[in-house]
Chain A
Amino acid sequence: MHATEALAEADRLMTLCNSCRYCEGVCAVFPAMEMRRSFGDGDLNYLANLCHSCGACYYDCQFSPPHEFNVNVPQVLEQVRADSYAAYAWPGILSGAFARNGLVISIVLALSVAGFILGFRAAAGAAFLSVETGPGAFYRVMPHNTMALLFGLAFLYAMVALIMGVRKFWRDIGGTEDDLGSGSIWQAIKDASRLRYLDGGSAGCVNEDEKGNDRRKHYHHATFYGFMLCFAATCVATIYHYLFGRQAPYPWWDLPVVLGTLGGIGLIVGPVGLLAAKFRRDPDLMARSNRGMDVAFLVMLFLTSVTGILLLVLRATPALNPMLALHLGVVFALFVTMPYGKFVHGIYRFVALVRYAQEIRSGKTSIE
């Protein structure tokens, strides 16, 4: 009846939770659950991606283990969520990347970094360790257009793969075209940007014990906004390059550097904080098999920012080209693995929030 054991267990839990409803005020999962009386795989994948893993319902629940009803919503939905990433991956043949995600990401990262370093070494020859300064210093070995084309294609591929996955997910969870432009998407943007549902309904995210706090929320904000600032830095630099003919590297006070540095700091503090929170997390709340994927993504983000900042610090030294190759290798690996790693959690969760906003507007209910 269900595609996986985790989905069958999620069905059991949601049926049980639906007859209790005490957690209705905790997050969006439970109100969305209440709009249903039975739970197909699409419904469960939707609910699983609405869940922000705040853990509050586990400690609030009178039926969580060791109770014989064994209600562990955060753990089961985490497993369903992780499985859903594979189920919606495009092309489907690559969904296996989620099975041993930590290993896959590590290999791609290693190959990518090795490729860039060897490529730089071969292309630069003796100039690999020379000191380069002035406009265009970054592009002496790899011309800007080559770099833009390579990364543009990688990014484009990631976008296409993500969009294909989202299409499948959206159809599966019963998404419609109602109110998309007129409010549901905007509502989802507001909910996602504030992490509205990562606070246990105001008591705080529960991570290591029953005391709620907002640490995971803050570290996630640092990560997300750090990422966005880095993205903005890249965009500004691209505009500088093509519109104003100003070539990198830019002075430390210039916009791309300021944005990139601030973002880089966020992308160091955030992932480190989230990793620490993950290792302190109550093991009962976690699905055992997903740690590799979670850690791989956080480490990748961390390496992106660390190599970026090292590049900034060392750009006037002979380490410029090795650091540039290293940084580009990490970023390239980040781009191509986007559709096949934890990055997708943000996409599917956002889409689930859009669907939730849509359902709230349509006034769905399970009791006639």
Chain B
Amino acid sequence: MTDFSRKYDVLIAGGGNAALCAAISARRAGASVLVLEAAPKFYRGGNTRHTRNMRCAHDSATDTLTGPYPEEEFWNDLLRVTEGETNEELARHMIHESKEMLVWIREQGVRFQPSLGGTLSLGRTNSFFLGGGRAMLNALYLTAEGLGVDVAYDAEVVDLDIEHSFFKSATVRLGTEHRTVHAGTLVAACGGFESNIGWLKEYWGPPAENFLIRGTRYNQGGVLKLLLAKGVDRIGDPTQCHAVAIDARAPKYDGGIITRLDCVVLGIVVNEQAQRFYDEGEDVWPKRYAIWGRLVAGQPNQIAYIVFDAKSLKLFMPSCFPAIEAPSVRELAGKVGLDPSALEQTVATFNAAVQPGHFDHTQLDNCRTEGLTPQKSNWARRIDTPPYYVYPVRPGITFTYLGTRVDKHARMLMADGKPAANMFAAGEIMAGNVLGRGYAAGVGMTIGSVFGRIAGREAAINARN
């Protein structure tokens, strides 16, 4: 039973993968633990709800992984996606620990399955959760509660009492009531600020109003803001976020994976004026999907339209909303409020520029346009086979990069460079230490699990001393 008047050894802010791994590891190390989750029970777990796999190094194939993924290869992948914006010591430490994580996380009740349909490229590197991220979370919560970890929902940390680098207590909002909770150590594992439109507007201005948030509305970044204000060193570019183009019909929050669209490379993308604005076939989709959120954010009213024809309809994973369909480009434009003549003109110009070639959507096929600006470098096929289709898209924000600086023990570092006395961080709130930019599938969960486990263990030791 949660007792807010007692002093816990370890107080954990957050309720996702990192928080639960920290809670379990601290509890297994003998500490009393309280988890404060700002969301109600159904929405618990932050972005973990929407994940599906984690990337762990391993030396040989397993029942669910098709082959080895050595530490060095993982490091090279990380170096490539971050373009060097990573802390090598921390990153290598995490990659090394990720090997054991595959075993440890199973011991906490998490189950894996072979890679999902349509994700074969990840079958060797990424371990998929049976039933997805919420199933994984459910398993961690059951284990944590079985071990005697206390969990409070609808419990938002609204203030922190920190003296120099020493955490003393947290003020928690429980419904309309405020309580002060004392604890020996603090683990901040409560994510970024991607759902905080006001904060996003500080960097993006009014266009942020048109952003859709892929996770729940509870990822407000309140604890991150408090920590940075109270002297914890920051890491990561505050203006950056992981943004993809998602179906514009998605709800404002928590549309998750099912609003994504993988068909950019198969058609053309136009803005409100029915004009193209970027090379849709620049590179294979896994390497380019994460630039489209930013590209659409740069267009008027932050909206764009993916236009394609009947030839492409069955070449990509269906999304949760049906494509808008019409027998002609003209009628298609009318259905989504684009200027019919302008769209016809754009399609005609594009079609005229398409060069002959052998279309192959499974690889760079050099089917391209000639004399068109911007050009389409691959998979350029005439849009000429009815029915025609369009998906409206908007920027979908997945996570933010701003965070707290930590050392390899997940201990926060203060702005003056000194380690915090009793404060640790894990998960998205410190992901910027390892993932300064870019993204590789499943890395967020690796950061959460590995640093969560470390933070919990270290916090338990810290609380004892």
Contact = CB atoms under 8 A, between A and B. Distances in A.
A63 B318 CA distance: 17
A26 interface: yes
Interface in B132-147: 132-135, 138-139, 142
B133 A62 contact: yes
A103 B378 CA distance: 65
Contacts of B116: 21-22, 24
The interface residues of chain A, by DSSP majority, are classed as loop
B258 interface: yes
A68 interface: yes
Nearest to B52: A22
A45 interface: no
A57 B318 contact: no
21 contacts: A20-B132, A20-B256, A21-B117, A22-B131, A22-B135, A34-B117, A60-B132, A61-B132, A61-B134, A62-B49, A66-B42, A68-B251, A201-B130, A201-B131, A203-B135, A210-B142, A211-B142, A366-B318, A367-B118, A367-B314, A367-B315
Interface string A11-29: 0000110111111111000
A15 B134 contact: no
B158 interface: no
Nearest to B254: A67
Nearest to A63: B256
Nearest to B136: A60
A367 B317 contact: yes
A57 B134 CA distance: 10
Contacts of B138: 59-60, 210
B216 to A, nearest CB: 9
A202 interface: yes
Given A367-B316, A368-B315, A15 B132 contact: no
A274 interface: no
A176 to B, nearest CB: 22
Contact of B131 (A15, A57, A68): A57
A19 B314 contact: no
A22 B318 contact: no
B111 interface: yes
B238 to A, nearest CB: 28
Contacts of B254: 62, 67
Contact of B130 (A21, A26, A31, A68): A26
A247 B393 CA distance: 78
A60 B318 contact: no
B322 interface: yes
Interface in A106-161: none
Interface string B196-210: 000000000000000
A25 B130 contact: yes
B318 A19 contact: yes
A19 B117 contact: no
B132 A22 contact: yes
A37 interface: yes
A86 to B, nearest CB: 30
Given A15-B318, A62-B50, A25 B258 contact: no
Contacts of B256: 20, 62-63
A229 interface: no
Contacts of A16: 258, 320
B126 to A, nearest CB: 13
Interface residues of B, number: 35
Most A CB atoms within 10 A — which of B113, B132, B316, B317?
B132
A34 B130 CA distance: 16
A51 interface: no
Nearest to A66: B42
Nearest to A68: B251
B113 A24 contact: yes
A56 interface: yes
User: What are the 7 A-B residue pairs with the smallest beta carbon separation, nearest first?
Assistant: A22-B132, A25-B113, A60-B131, A60-B135, A19-B258, A19-B320, A62-B49
Most B CB atoms within 10 A — which of A20, A200, A211?
A20
B130 A19 contact: no
Contacts of A22: 52, 116, 129, 131-133, 135, 257
Contacts of A68: 251
A356 to B, nearest CB: 15
Interface string A173-206: 0000000000000000000000000001111000
A22 B131 CA distance: 5
A18 B314 CA distance: 13
Contacts of B251: 68
B319 interface: yes
Contacts of B129: 22
Interface string B27-60: 0000000000000001000000110100000000
A200 B130 CA distance: 9
B114 interface: yes
Most A CB atoms within 10 A — which of B50, B131, B133, B257?
B131
Given A63-B256, A368-B314, A26 B319 contact: no
Contacts of B319: 19
B130 A203 contact: yes
B53 to A, nearest CB: 10
Nearest to A37: B318
Contacts of B111: 201-203
A368 B318 CA distance: 12
A249 B114 CA distance: 56
A69 B128 CA distance: 23
Most B CB atoms within 10 A — which of A24, A57, A63, A211?
A24
Most A CB atoms within 10 A — which of B256, B258, B317?
B258
Contacts of B316: 367
A312 B291 CA distance: 76
B312 to A, nearest CB: 10
Contacts of B42: 66-67
B82 to A, nearest CB: 27
A26 to B, nearest CB: 6
Contacts of B257: 19-20, 22
A20 B321 CA distance: 12
B315 A63 contact: no
Nearest to A206: B138
Interface string A248-283: 000000000000000000000000000000000000
Interface in B274-325: 314-320, 322
A13 B94 CA distance: 39
Nearest to A365: B117
Contacts of B114: 25
A22 B128 CA distance: 9
A56 B138 CA distance: 11
Contacts of A19: 257-258, 260, 317-320
Contacts of A59: 134-135, 138
